[in-house]
Amino acid sequence: MLTHLNIEPVLPTRVVILGAGGFVSSAAQRRLEAQNVPVLALTQAMLDLTHKDAGALLANLLRTDDALLFVAAKAPVKSEAMLIENLRMGEAVCEALKNAPVNHVVYISSDAVYADSDTPLTERSCAQPGSLHGVMHLAREVMLANAWQGALCFLRPTLIYGEDDPHNGYGPNRFLRLAAKGEEIVLFGEGEERRDHLWVEDVAEIVSRVLLHRSTGILNIATGEVVSFRDIAEQVARLSARPPKIKGTPRVGPMPHNGYRAFNIASLYSAFPDFQCLPLSEGLKLCYNGLNAMTKKDN
């Protein structure tokens, strides 16, 4: 589903990052700077996209040869007010692009845009989100597509893990932190739902490749493997010298996505044949060792 406008990779003249300092954006920035790509990293403190003049302020910063990496979001979206804030941010970016065209736009969206499915998702799967978070991302995709007719790419990653995750999200991130502190891992239900889990550095690698190839279109980022949360908790426990207890709890409400969200990643490997996602077991080990070292240092 991607078209590479640069058949061979070419370093962008400059990448402007909206939402710098975040989990994914920081990993992408490190990857780009390691490749000697000039980066203008705009944090919320530097440019608040909800401000009424944000569009004009951003337009004044953009150059015609820039690539714009749009990662900024107030997430996860849990209320109508948060949804409106995020759409206001999208509106500011669209206004800026209309007044200050750039060379390439890459938007970090989410697999939350897709409807639930009993079969592996592809880029052609029905985009009919069942959550406000998914509605936000899909609405911003549509806004960008309507406002910007130049080179545009939507990346839709699945669940992302890594030791620097600020949200302490249920799954690898939370389980790893609990195990590093020697605390009990508590599951929703028996942790039977199966999901795809993606290392943040793999997301950064795909972002870098998309920018260097000036790719356009839509691409899901996932490993193609689904693992239950119970299995992840058990893998994390085995990494510890003193394995934490794993406890199930009565489930409140239905399982998200009916307990299953898998991906057909043929498009990912078609776009980047030499790319390989880090296996979950290896990613968990890397993150656990990093968190464990941090915990010992703090103590």
Q: Give the pLDDT band of residue 100 (cuts 50, 70, 90).
A: very high
**Could you give the count of Cα atoms lying within 13 Å of 290 in the half-sphere of its Cβ?**
13
Tokens 């880090």 locate to 278
Residue 48 backbone zone (phi > 0: left; psi -120 to 50: alpha; other: beta) = beta
Task: Write the pLDDT tens digit of every residue in 224-245.
Answer: 999 999 999 999 999 988 899 9
Give mean pLDDT, residues 57-76: 97
> What pLDDT sits at residue 253?
85
Q: What percent of the chain has pLDDT over 70?
A: 97
CB 137 within 8 A of CB 198: no
Question: Mind listing the pLDDT tens digit for each residue in 110-164?
Answer: 999 999 999 999 999 999 999 999 999 999 999 999 999 999 999 999 999 998 8
* DSSP string for residues in 74-106: --S--SHHHHHHHHHHHHHHHHHHHHS--SEEE
Pairwise CA distance, residues 187 & 192, whole Å: 9
Q: Is pLDDT above 70 for 299?
A: no
Q: Which residue type is seen at 86?
A: N
Query: Which residues span the domain enclosing 111?
Result: 2-298
Give the span between the Cα atoms of 224 and 84, in whole angstroms. 33
- Residue 122 CA to residue 255 CA, distance in Å, equals 21
> In 10 A of CB 221, how many CB atoms?
24
C-beta of residue 147 within 8 angstroms of C-beta of residue 160? no
Amino acid found at 6 = N
Confidence of residue 168 (pLDDT cuts 50, 70, 90): confident
The reported pTM is 0.95
Q: How many domains does the chain have?
A: 1
* CATH code assigned at 57: 3.40.50.720
